[in-house]
Amino acid sequence: MSIHLEDSSTYQAIHKRGEEKGRQRGLIDGIREGAILTLQKTLLRQGKVKFGPVAPLQEASIRAITDLERLERMTEQLLIGASWEDVFDTL
């Protein structure tokens, strides 16, 4: 009688733990990606209302930003800034 590693309870427990960690990481990454996309969309829509049409280069620049904290600061600056330049100057 041969025993396969995959049949051991220790292997199965470790494998299950790894799957759980993978699911949790995927969920966290998905939530973060959703927040980034939402802030990008908010900047584009509200910026268009406040400052007028968004130049293609500006839109591409906003869509390229994946730093969640910077997008949050830019969204805040959108409220008080006088131009797209004010929003983009946010570091």
User: Is residue 1's pLDDT more than 80?
Assistant: no
Sequence-ordered list of residues with C-beta below 8 angstroms from that of 77, at least 6 positions apart, any chain: 86, 87, 89, 90
pTM across the whole model: 0.75
- Confidence class for position 58, pLDDT limits 50, 70, 90: very high
Instruction: Give the up-direction half-sphere exposure of residue 87: CA atoms within 13 A in the CB hemisphere.
Output: 26
Q: What would the pLDDT profile of 2-49 be if each residue is shown by its tens digit?
A: 667 677 787 777 777 878 888 788 888 889 999 999 999 999 999 999
Instruction: Say what the pLDDT of residue 22 is.
Output: 81
Instruction: Say what the pLDDT of residue 28 is.
Output: 85
